[in-house]
Amino acid sequence: MGNIISEITFLLQRMNWLSIIDLFLVTLIVFFLLRLVRGTQAVVLLRGIILLVILIAALTSLLELPAFSWLLSTTLPTILIALPVIFAPEIRRALEKLGRAGNLFSPDSEPDEIEKMIDIICTSAKRLSDRRYGALIVLERSDFLDEYVETGVELDAVLTPEMVLQIFFINTPLHDGAAILHGNRIRAAGCVMPLSSSGTLSRSPDREMGLRHRAALGISEVSDAISVVVSEESGSISVTHNGRMIRRLDQPRLRNILRAFFQTRAIRRWPVWLDPLIRFLQAPLRRKTKDS
């Protein structure tokens, strides 16, 4: 223990402003990596790996264990190769977000437009629930859903409760697929969504959780989209986001949940201390918009 304290003291004495910047950059990268995997299945695995690393570091520094140290030195390269395979879905999603970084600096939707969209969705979900019409409404956010739009019929229609009811009316051609919304427009209907592979629904005792609910969970696992699901068997309304499902919602609760999701995104998408940098990067976009 005395050696550890002396090494920490030695490192603190050698600190300078370059070392502080170096530590700040490493901390920033770790922070954004943790933000990317927050709420996913990788969090539990990552927590276990961190605890294992801390335990191994404590054992090797406090005790003389030559055989154990040799085992670690030989298996460490294999672990480093296995980590990208284990975290493949999270790495793919992070790279997709980096490739779409331009969306970070695009202006948010107006609060009035968001409120109008939420009102229409809540009204539509209530009418669908009363009539026992099964429905899957996917709300596109910063992650583009173009690949899923191509699997359905492109509409580019104005979002209204009547339009939503017409799409999900029983035995219509677009009834079984998902409707993808962007703001107050219906981009496409009859779209095929990826099915969830997390096993969350397989542990549920409820019979009404079918392919529509698995598709709603699936699209929330591969993007930041929000899905509103209406069960055809029971008429219950559910919301999925980030691989999680909130079930048995009435119209007021659905409204509050959607407001929380969209207002959180609209109010704060980055830390406060990044505001000057964001305003500096947004300035050319504003000038371009003003000139056009």
DSSP the chain: -HHHHHHHHHHHHT--HHHHHHHHHHHHHHHHHHHHHTTSTHHHHHHHHHHHHHHHHHHHHHS--HHHHHHHHHHHHHHHHHHHHHTHHHHHHHHHHHHTGGGGGSPPPPHHHHHHHHHHHHHHHHHHHHHT--EEEEE--SS--HHHHTTSEEEEEE--HHHHHHHTSTT-TTSSSEEEEETTEEEEEEEPPPPP-S-TGGG---TT--HHHHHHHHHHHHSS-EEEEE-TTT--EEEEETTEEEEEE-HHHHHHHHHHHHHHHHH-SS-GGGHHHHHHHHHHHHHHHHH-
**Residues 126, 127, 133, 137: is their CA dihedral positive or negative?**
negative
Amino acid identity at 129: S
85-89 own/partner pairs: CB under 8 Å, 24+ apart: 86/42, 86/45, 87/37, 87/42, 87/45, 89/40, 89/42, 89/221, 89/222
* Token output for 146: 């173009």
Give the pLDDT of residue 107: 41
Structure tokens given for 210: 């079918």
Q: What distance in Å separates the CA atoms of residue 19 and residue 141, rounded to the nearest whole number? A: 38
State the pLDDT at residue 211.
Answer: 86
Residue 266: its pLDDT value, please?
45
pLDDT tens-digit profile, the chain (292 residues): 556 677 677 777 777 888 788 888 888 887 877 776 665 556 666 677 777 777 777 777 777 777 777 777 777 777 767 767 766 666 666 666 555 544 443 444 567 788 899 999 999 999 999 999 999 999 998 778 888 999 999 998 999 999 999 999 988 888 889 999 998 899 999 999 998 876 666 555 554 567 889 999 999 888 889 999 999 888 899 999 988 899 889 999 999 999 988 875 544 445 555 556 655 665 555 554 445 5
Indicate yes or no: pTM above 0.85. Answer: no
Closest C-alpha among 174, 199, 206 to residue 188: 174
Own/partner pairs for 213-216, CB < 8 Å, 24+ apart? Answer: 213/238, 213/240, 213/245, 215/136, 215/178, 216/136, 216/138, 216/178, 216/240, 216/245
Domains detected in the chain = 2-100 (no CATH), 111-267 (3.40.1700.10)
Of 88, 161, 91, residue with least CA distance to 130: 161
